[in-house]
Structure 1
Amino acid sequence: MGTVQSQNLPAVDADTTALVLIGSVSIEGNYRTRTPIILREMALKPGDTLRRSELPDRLEIDRRKIVNTNLFVTVEMQTLPQEATTEDATEVVDIRVVVKERWYFLAIPVFQLADRNFNEWWYDRDRDLRRVTYGLYMSYNNLTGRADRLRFLAEFGFIPKYEMTYSVPYIDKAQKLGITTGVSYTTNKSMPYRTWRDKLDYFNSENLNRERFYTFVSLTRRNKFYTFHSVDFRWNYIGLSDTITALNPHYLLGGRSLQQYFQLSYILSHDRRDNVQYPLRGRIGGFQVSKLGLLPTDNVNLAYLYGWYRHYIPISKRWFANSGIRGRISLPRRQPYLQTLGLGYRSDLVRGYELYVVDGQHYALLQNELKFKLFDIQKHFSWIPLQQFNTIPLATYLNTFADAGYVRNFYPERSNTRLGNTLLYGVGMGLDVVTFYNMTARFNVTVNGNGEQRFFFNFGRQF
């Protein structure tokens, strides 16, 4: 998982009342990252006094928070007892945090599928290699040593896209307020113009049929360690060809070919997972409330509330479980097809239904997993000259899962849905492979409520 467990911790004896005073806290290995960025994640401070028996757990919690900045390949928490003690015989311990920084500049060729997921392309699109996008993705993380990030994406092929974002997690001395801003422009010749029988219907063309543009600015507030507040303000533009408008007058409602609007969102999240890449313990939850259309001249008037919660439970050293629920409600009932979202997009799906899209105004999703760790190792290759790449973690997990979901669709005749307004459920088992730089491969065999049995593959990464 790209981390090293805490080392050199003081032994815990039978005297659970013995106290430890934190002397100094030093950081090593942060050649680019500014020290305050790391210290921001630590609850332990010089001068703190705590029971000796509590120190290992407190150090491990701080280590996980530093890992979750995604700035380091490995993080070690070391303790160095001082020879002298205080007058009341309290032991004084110095803390040394040793980090190995990641390779922060990435310039990666893009070659990916334009469909929702690999499985849709494999099973429903006849593995058509024309349905790919290619280009260049560049990411400069930790640009100034403040955990800031500059991203640029240029894609060509099936869906040309250009994006640029810049984020700074802290712009104030108190390290609580951050900002992100960006722009995106996408064009489509071939595109899905409707959902029919819970599948996306594509119109294939050599002419431009859709343009999408948005620009945004987000302010984030992190008062403590685990709770995040965000206010997002953006402007959206969507333009359609007359052909798409004729094929689906509901795409933007009322046969409209243009949609321009301002959007305001508030997001609250609480994240206490041990590892954001592949969590095994902890919990995450939050909600988002958004209003699309703020001015009388805006071409859409819609609001939605989206919420999520997931709990990760370590049963033993090798067995782990997690359970989560998420859902979305939106108003009014009559909505443009473009903004009518149900299950099937991103990770909001009942596993076993990867090939389907279930549109609706409201939905709920319940997911459960039980997994067994086969192994979790790290290999250091001294012959690799770059330290950011010479330590490679690798972990594998067997898992079994059971999901259930429901989508409420008030206009089922528009999509001739068979899965909307009915209970969806799926079960399966698989293998997860987790390695460095936030890459996870999942191999699953599933059975859904229709009795369909499939093998599904998914690969994800988080830069």
Structure 2
Amino acid sequence: MRRIYFPAILIFITGIAYAQQTAVDSSKSVVIGEVKVEGNHRTHTGIILREMAVKSGDTLNIRSLPEKLEIDRRKIVNTNLFVTVDLFPTINEDSVRTDIRVVVKERWYFIALPVFQLADRNFNEWWYERKRDLRRTTYGVYLSYGNVTGRADKLRFLAEFGFIPKFEIAYSMPYIDKAKKTGVTVGTSYSINKSTAFRTWRDKLDYLSSEDINRRRSVTYVTLTRRNKYYTFHSADLRYSYASISDTIAYLNPNYLLNSRTAQRFFQLTYTFSYDKRDNVQYALLGESIGLQLSKIGLLPADDINQIYFYGSYRKYLSLGKNWYFNTGVRARLSLPKKQPYLQTVGLGYRNDLVRGYELYVVDGQDYGLIKNELKYRLFSFRKHFSFIPVKQFNTIPMAAYINTFADAGYVKNSYPEFSNTQLGNSLLYGAGAGLDVVTFYNILARFNLTFNAKGEQRFFFNVSREF
């Protein structure tokens, strides 16, 4: 990650321009001249300038300028449109104003990848619980065409076959108005399952395997977004969902869709507020983030479900100096009514909502709270340019590695423990461990962790995540 700095010649010329001075006066101001953007062959200049608080004509304290430019650089990085971003201040020819050069290197926007991944919740469940069964994999193709019109829009297509066939297409346009504040996303997905997790029993997923299709799901949605300020986001998501299951699943778990139903249809409206002031959304070291979500599942009298939930999260990232960093955060989810379909019952164990050390468990419940803490040390961070690679979007590779230690605690409230015979619900969960994080380009993050939990278990866990 490059830092913003004034070249020596800038200070020298400034000294000449203000005779009688041999050093930069900390109280002196600079007037911002032209803000020039270079390297954006596809991206519209306005998309980049929209992220910058420093504008042409601003008068700023000379000592505060590098910090302000670094903040703007991070915001441009977080658009996920560029491999590298650098901002350079240069004295204008009139020796009065300071111009800003914004130099970017665009990503390779069209991504066509073969898909070969595990159908389980994570690599660790597949490795330890499913005995590394290669039949539990999906394969296909993932297509992502980013920055289609140069306005940070994206078209995605996914076709997966194998263990869980799935098809999805979505298009997002973050800015549809001149003010660049309002955006829209539309999409639809369809999936089928022959092998289906029909219940959670003793905090593990129970699967029904069959040669017949046991579940079908389809979702169609439209999402409106609003970004009034740099770090504040609002969204309203309206979707229609349909699910059907086999008679066998309804028999084995009458609560899967409640009351032994074999079909479920409903509209859902979700409002989300987020405040994201992290230095890097891929792997944050500084800043903070806040997320609030309120969702109503079932909007019409004819809908097969009537449920509401609230989700909130907060996380703070701090530098302790000398390459040491710390972050802490809390999350919580509350839902009503307490008797819910298994398909909509959400506890800890999915995605990143888990107590580390319990990666092999799913703790179902209607409400939960979670706190996560990390202390990490940066081993190295660099950006290497390989001139022999002809494709410029791939010839600059950033790489960083961090040793980390962590400690998490969580609690899941399960109002119907008899439905899952839970041993971990309604009790305090805590886990700790240490590991290594490796961060590289195109948002690829690899984690290697050794964890311990309150059950006295210790295991090695590995995970790779990415965001294209």
| TM bucket normalised to smaller | over 0.9
Equivalent residues in 2 for 1:238-253, closer than 5 Å: 238-253=243-258
**Which amino acid in 2 is paired with 1:46?**
S
1:53 to 42, 60, 63: 63
Find the counterpart in structure 2 of residue 293 from structure 1.
298
Does structure 1 residue 230 correspond to structure 2 residue 235? yes
- Mapped partners of 1:15, 1:292: distance in 2: 60
Q: Is the 8 A contact 1:194 1:201 kept in 2?
A: yes
- Mapped partners of 1:194, 1:116: distance in 2: 14
1:6 to 4, 7, 17: 4
Does structure 1 residue 163 correspond to structure 2 residue 168? yes
Structure-1-length-normalised TM-score: 0.97
Equivalent residues in 2 for 1:78-227, closer than 5 Å: 78-85=88-95, 91-227=96-232
Find the counterpart in structure 2 of residue 427 from structure 1.
432
- Large movers: runs of 4+ above 3 Å: 7-14
Provide Cα deviations, 1:211-232, integer angstroms capped at 9, x if missing partner: 0000000000001100000000
Following superposition, the deviation at residue 82 of structure 1 comes to 2.1
1:67 to 77, 84, 87: 77
Following superposition, the deviation at residue 83 of structure 1 comes to 4.1
- Mapped partners of 1:341, 1:286: distance in 2: 18
Q: Is the 8 A contact 1:7 1:76 kept in 2?
A: no
**Which amino acid in 1 is paired with 2:87?**
M
Find the counterpart in structure 2 of residue 88 from structure 1.
none
CA RMSD of aligned residues (A): 1.0
Following superposition, the deviation at residue 7 of structure 1 comes to 4.3
Find the counterpart in structure 2 of residue 275 from structure 1.
280
- Mapped partners of 1:450, 1:307: distance in 2: 28
**Which amino acid in 2 is paired with 1:284?**
S
1:22 to 5, 23, 32: 32
- Mapped partners of 1:83, 1:36: distance in 2: 25
SS of the residue aligned with 2:418? Answer: helix
Following superposition, the deviation at residue 5 of structure 1 comes to 2.6
Identity of aligned residues (%): 65
Structure-2-length-normalised TM-score: 0.96
Q: Is the 8 A contact 1:137 1:154 kept in 2?
A: yes
Find the counterpart in structure 2 of residue 352 from structure 1.
357
Q: Is the 8 A contact 2:73 2:87 kept in 1?
A: yes
- Mapped partners of 2:419, 2:221: distance in 1: 32
Unaligned runs of 5+ in 2: 15-22
- Mapped partners of 2:280, 2:70: distance in 1: 12
**Which amino acid in 1 is paired with 2:444?**
M
Does structure 1 residue 77 correspond to structure 2 residue 75? no
How many residue pairs get aligned? The number is: 456
Following superposition, the deviation at residue 127 of structure 1 comes to 0.3
- Mapped partners of 2:40, 2:401: distance in 1: 30
Following superposition, the deviation at residue 306 of structure 1 comes to 0.5
**Which amino acid in 2 is paired with 1:64?**
R
Find the counterpart in structure 2 of residue 37 from structure 1.
47
- Mapped partners of 1:83, 1:458: distance in 2: 52
Unaligned runs of 5+ in 1: 86-90
- Mapped partners of 2:351, 2:439: distance in 1: 19
Provide Cα deviations, 1:187-237, integer angstroms capped at 9, x if missing partner: 000010000000000001010000000000000000110000000000000
Equivalent residues in 2 for 1:431-446, closer than 5 Å: 431-446=436-451
Q: Is the 8 A contact 1:263 1:290 kept in 2?
A: yes
1:260 to 255, 262, 265: 265
Provide Cα deviations, 1:364-412, integer angstroms capped at 9, x if missing partner: 0000000000000111110000100000111000000000000000000
